[in-house]
Amino acid sequence: STLFAAARENGNAHMRLFLINESTGNVYTRNGRADSWEQLYGSERDSIIACLVAARNNCVPVYKVNGASNQPA
């Protein structure tokens, strides 16, 4: 399944969008300037996954994305 997340960057007001594929562990972020999705690797990827796990553990809503409708995770 794929998860969608949005978060503000530390130190500025920029909103970042993320897609996380739970099956593969791939993490993508939206690059609005280039109008594309870019894959994250290494510590950036690990940090996003850690934040996602922390959000779930603290009852922050996390949503799965599917073709029919969006359902809470």
pTM of the model: 0.73
So what's the pLDDT on residue 27?
A: 95
Distance of CA 7 to the CA centre of its chain: 8
> Residues in the chain with pLDDT < 50?
68-73
Q: How far apart are CA 41 and CA 49, in angstroms?
A: 11
Indicate the residue type of 19. Answer: L
pLDDT recorded at residue 71 = 46
Q: Count Cβ atoms within 10 A of the Cβ of residue 52 and give its class: 0-12 exposed, 13-18 middle, 19 or more buried.
A: buried
